[in-house]
Amino acid sequence: MKRRIAVLGLILVTAIQHSFAQTNTMRDYVGIINQVYHPEVISFMEEIQADFEKSGNSDAVKSISYFLEGLSGTGFVYVAPDGSNYILTNYHVIAQAISLKVTFEKTDGTKTSYDNLAIVSIDEDIDLALLKFPAGVQPFAGGLTFNTTMLEDGTDVFSAGFPGMGNNALWQFGKGIVSNSSVRLPVSEDSTETRGPYIQHTAQVDPGNSGGPLLIAQPGAPGSYAVAGINTLKVLSRQAANYAIPSQTVLDFIGKSLAASRENEQELLEARVQAFMDGLTVPKAVYDHIAKFLSTDCVALNAKFAISELDDRGSKTVWNSIARAFSWNPVDGMRYAVGWLVEDSIRSKSGAIKISLDTIEKINDTEYSVSFDVSGNTVTSAWVKEFGIWRINTFGGFASGDKTLVEEKERLRTREDKLKTDYFLMLSAGYTQVFGTGPALNANISYRGNSTIWGVTVQYRGSDYMQTEFGFGAYMPIRLNGFAVMPLIKASVGFMKTEERDDSFDMNFGISAQGGVMFTTAAIPGLFLSAAYQYNFYLSTDYPSHLLLISLGYGFSRK
Give DSSP secondary structure letters for 291-325: HTTB-HHHHHHHHHHHHHHHHHHS-HHHHHHHHHH
Chain-centre distance for alpha carbon 382: 23
Tens digits of residue pLDDT in 32-81: 998 888 898 899 899 888 888 888 888 888 888 878 877 679 999 999 99
Q: Could you give the CA distance from residue 469 to residue 458 in angstroms, rounded to a whole number?
A: 7
Tens digits of residue pLDDT in 77-108: 999 999 999 999 999 898 878 889 999 998 88
Nearest to 250 by CA among 74, 120, 90: 90
Q: Is the pLDDT score of 500 beyond 80?
A: no
Report the half-sphere exposure of 527 (CA within 13 A, side-chain side): 6
pLDDT band at 282 (very low <50, low <70, confident <90, very high): confident
Taken in order of first residue, the domains within the chain and their CATH numbers are 156-245 (2.40.10.10), 265-416 (3.10.450), 423-557 (2.40.160.20)
Mean pLDDT over 398-422 rounds to: 83
Chain-centre distance for alpha carbon 152: 42
Q: Is the pLDDT score of 273 beyond 90?
A: yes
Q: Is the pLDDT score of 5 beyond 50?
A: no
SS3 for 156-177, per residue? EEEEEECCEECCEECCEEEEEE
Residue 505 pLDDT = 58
Mean pLDDT over 136-158 rounds to: 93
Which residue type sits at 31? G
Among 192-196, 310-314, 356-360, the range of highest mean pLDDT: 356-360
Q: Is the pLDDT score of 440 beyond 80?
A: yes
pLDDT band at 356 (very low <50, low <70, confident <90, very high): very high
Tens digits of residue pLDDT in 158-202: 999 999 876 688 899 999 999 999 999 887 777 788 888 999 999
Exposed/middle/buried for residue 296 (C-beta within 10 Å: 0-12, 13-18, 19+): buried
Residue 216 pLDDT = 96
Residue 559 pLDDT = 67
Residue 3 pLDDT = 34
Q: Cβ(333)–Cβ(348) under 8 Å?
A: no
Q: Is the pLDDT score of 16 beyond 60?
A: no
Q: Is the pLDDT score of 14 beyond 80?
A: no
Residue 197, preceding peptide bond in cis (omega within 30° of 0): yes
Mean pLDDT over 293-314 rounds to: 91
Residue 76 pLDDT = 97
SS3 for 198-210, per residue? EEEECCCCCCCCC
Higher-confidence residue: 332 or 506?
332
Residue 541 pLDDT = 63
Mean pLDDT over 428-445 rounds to: 94
Q: Is the pLDDT score of 284 beyond 80?
A: yes
Q: Which helix (H) or strand (E) holds 331?
A: helix 330-346
Higher-confidence residue: 62 or 303?
303
Q: Cβ(276)–Cβ(391) under 8 Å?
A: no
Kindly calculate the radius of gyration of the chain based on its CA atoms and give it in whole angstroms: 35
Q: Choose the weakest-confidence range: 343-347, 402-406, 477-481, 482-486.
A: 402-406
Q: Cβ(483)–Cβ(520) under 8 Å?
A: yes
Q: Could you give the CA distance from residue 256 to residue 244 in angstroms, rounded to a whole number?
A: 20
Q: Choose the weakest-confidence range: 110-124, 240-254, 260-274.
A: 260-274
Q: Could you give the CA distance from residue 516 to residue 488 in angstroms, rounded to a whole number?
A: 5
The neighbour count for residue 385, using CB atoms within 10 Å, is: 17
Give percent above pLDDT 90 in the chain: 55
